[in-house]
Amino acid sequence: MTLPQRSESGPTRVLVVDDERNMRITLADILEDAGFDVSVADCGEKAVKMCGKRSFDAILMDVRMPGIDGVEAFRLIRRKDQAVRVIMMSAYSMQELQRLAMREGAIGFLKKPLDLDRVIELIGESSGAQNL
């Protein structure tokens, strides 16, 4: 099994996973506008499938979704790709969930509505770190 290739150069590849369409498209536009290469998935299963096909620098993942939830999808993706940076987002600010996500290697846990400047900053940091 070959690991998907991470881009050595070019824009940071970001996967946005959210079952809410409006959330998904606005986020994608905002991130593209910020200069990221953005893909979207509307559920956990799709996100996992997409991560098997190509690699992302960062994944912005909603926690609560139909089917496999964000945490489970995150786990499955991390199993294939240890390097991917994941930012969890949720309408809840549940500390338990937050701790769990961080333990699994998430770099951030953001509460909705999102502080979008912070989101861009976090994704930028993740790619920056990678680029170092």
Partner 1 sequence: MGNGPEKDAVSTIHATRVQASERQMLLLLSSHAPLDEIVEQLVGTIEEHCPDTLGSVLRLDAEKGRLLHGAAPSLPEAYCRAVHELPVGPCVGSCGTAAFRGVRVVVEDIATDPLWADFKDLALAHDLRACWSQPILSREGAVLGTFAMYYRRPRRPNEEDIEFLEVAAGLVAIAIENDMRERELHASRVNLRQVIDLVPHMIFAKDHQGRFLLANQAVADAYGTTVDELVGKPHVDIHTADPMEVSRMLADDLAVIESGQARHIPEEPFTDARGRVRYLQATKIPFVQSESRKRAMAGIAIDITDSKRAAQERESEDARRRQLHSVLLELAKSDQLACGDFRAFSSLAAEALADALPVERVGVWQFNKERSVLTCKDLFERTPRRHSSGTELDHDDYRRYFAALERGRVVAADDAPNHPSTSEFADSYLRPQGIGAMLDAPLRQGGQVVGVVCCEHVGPAREWADHDEEFAASVADLLALSLEAVKRRRAERAFRSAQEELLRQQWQARKQVEAELSRTRSDLVRKTRMATIGQVAASIAHELRNPLAAIQNARYLLRRFLPEGDEKLAEYLAIIDQEVRAADGIVDNLLEMSRSKDPIIESADLGVVVGNALGYVKELEGIELETSFDPDPFEVESDPRQLCQVLANLITNSAQAMEGVGRLSVEARRDVTASVIVVSDSGPGIPDELRRSVFEPLFTTKAKGTGLGLPICRQILERHGGSLELLNPTEGGARFEIRLPRRTRT
Question: Any contact of residue 23 with partner 1 (CB under 8 A)?
Answer: yes
3-state secondary structure of 117: helix
**For partner 1, which is the closer residue by CB, 20 or 125?**
20
Residues in contact with partner 1, counted by CB under 8 A, come to a total of 18
Give yes or no for a contact between 53 and 4, defined as CB atoms under 8 angstroms apart: yes
Distance, in Å, from the CA atom of 35 to the CA atom of 103, rounded to the nearest integer, reads 29
Question: Any contact of residue 6 with partner 1 (CB under 8 A)?
Answer: no
Structure token digits, residue 92:
């809840």
Binding mask 84-103 for partner 1 (x = CB under 8 A): -------xxx-x--------
Task: Give me the residue label for tokens 């979207």.
Answer: 40
Distance, in Å, from the CA atom of 113 to the CA atom of 39, rounded to the nearest integer, reads 20
**For partner 1, which is the closer residue by CB, 80 or 111?**
111
Residues near partner 1 (CB under 8 A) are 20, 22-23, 26-27, 29-30, 33, 64, 91-93, 95, 111-114, 116
